[in-house]
A and B are shown apart, each in its own frame.
Chain A
């Protein structure tokens, strides 16, 4: 069925007035036919992509402030590398979860009678997708948060060295946010199993 035709079937704008706006049977048909491998790949891709995006965002927020502040006060550079490492860790979380997720993927046959993937495989596909976006978005937010705090940490350390440790505590708590996403991601994906 062509894509256009499918859209017309699902959102039945052009049908008789009595037909419902959304044709649930066809919508179900659509989702039943999407491959679980698509969902799992999308989940893994978003997991790595968003995490790395978050880490990169954090590093440039911190990095640019750190460079500028270090011109006058060079002593802050090595200490404030910790902020960069915190941001980098966020990308590593994403990679680790992605590796865990991809080990779950396994080959299954379509059912010869219905032509659909078996139910456990579909469950696994959705679980890996959910796990991937949970981790990805959590890490994106975490990376930005650590980046902004890290930038303030660099600027305040340059003004007053005693502030560094205090702001580092704030940064550690910000960095913990990403771990929450990782934990939930791993738990959600733990149920996933392509082969029953």
Chain B
């Protein structure tokens, strides 16, 4: 508020802010990753993780270990931290923390609906859902056969309800529609989240503005990449892009018309920050793009801890933990499948 957060911020949020900074110091560093990469079995990985924050969560796991167990326990750590912080948070921080988890909620809805379409068991699907995105009525999602029912029966009581108003259609749910639904929801969510952060103002708006525009632009890029060669028209694509970010609106116009990777690259390179990213890729190398984007995201997320008195650190902590869990999953998979030569390809160092 008026650039004077340093005076007021700690009244409500000083404690939780310090707690999340404590959690941040528990994130794995490059020496930790180097040790993990030397591991020969999953038991070694468990042993290496004992001295970290994950120690108590993995301690009582019986052998033989599986990759999924390790990932589940690590996610549990994030969820525990998150719930503790959520309980201690005052408004509007509480609402901010809730906003951070809506993304998982959307993913869960899509997961259940897709699963039901393929006639999978609901309980099996519920186990796969991200625990941060759970809500009470999630198990009943399976009854809906089209989007209108989905909204009317289940989602009207969830925080996601406002995002649905834009995407209601009576069409049956099929693969394509579900993907479009996911992206429309995500677009509405990001727009809403960005508006909320702007309303909070000050350093929060500044820090979150940059993080969310990167997220929005990355989604725009991914949507474009994935829709090449599908029946999605220019206008359909444009409807899925968020209404902010560095690419908005000229970059979106060009992305909407892009037909191959080089055209996307041309559109993206008109933004200086993204030009620097694409310069790291040789021409024709599109498979490394994901990793480059992840690295850029992590760089931006770690930078948020350089400033004090803003909410961006909470979002950043969640995303960094998730990246760390992805790293651990990659390492465990590589170890479990004896693919240790590829182990460095998937790790994004945090610190």
Tell me the A residues contacting B by CB distance below 8 Å: 57, 60-61, 63-69, 71-73, 144, 148, 151-152, 154-155, 158-159
Contacts and interface: CB of A to CB of B under 8 A. Distances in A.
Contact of A69 (B7, B21, B26): B21
Contact of A68 (B11, B14, B26): B14
Contacts of B7: 57, 61, 144, 148
Contacts of B22: 68-69, 71-73, 158
A159 B10 contact: no
Interface of B: 6-7, 10-11, 14-19, 21-23, 25-26, 308
Contact of A65 (B14, B23, B25, B26): B14
Dominant secondary structure at the B interface: helix
Nearest to B53: A72
A159 B17 contact: no
Contacts of B11: 60, 64
Contacts, number: 61
Contacts of B23: 72
A159 B24 CA distance: 9
Dominant secondary structure at the A interface: helix
Contact of B15 (A67, A73, A144, A148): A67
B310 to A, nearest CB: 13
A107 B81 CA distance: 64
Contact of A71 (B10, B19, B308): B19
Contacts of A68: 14-19, 21-22
A147 B38 CA distance: 46
B308 A69 contact: no
B18 A69 contact: yes
B10 A151 contact: yes
Nearest to B13: A64
B53 to A, nearest CB: 9
A142 to B, nearest CB: 14
Contacts of A63: 14
Contacts of B19: 68-69, 71-72
Given A65-B17, A158-B25, 9 more contacts: A60-B11, A61-B14, A63-B14, A64-B18, A65-B14, A67-B15, A67-B18, A69-B22, A144-B7
A64 B25 contact: no
A151 B14 contact: yes
A149 to B, nearest CB: 10
Interface centre among B15, B16, B26 (most CB of A within 10 A): B15
Nearest to B18: A68
Nearest to A61: B10
A129 B19 CA distance: 44
A32 to B, nearest CB: 40
Interface centre among B14, B17, B22, B25 (most CB of A within 10 A): B14
A144 B17 CA distance: 18
A66 B14 CA distance: 9
A57 to B, nearest CB: 7
A158 B17 CA distance: 13
A105 to B, nearest CB: 34
A148 B25 contact: no
A154 B10 contact: no
A158 B26 CA distance: 11
Contacts of A67: 15, 18
A152 B309 CA distance: 10
A7 B19 CA distance: 56
A68 B308 CA distance: 14
B26 A60 contact: no
A72 B26 contact: yes
A61 B17 CA distance: 12
Contact of B6 (A60, A71, A73, A148): A148
Contacts of A57: 7
Contacts of A144: 7
Given A148-B6, A155-B308, A72 B25 contact: yes
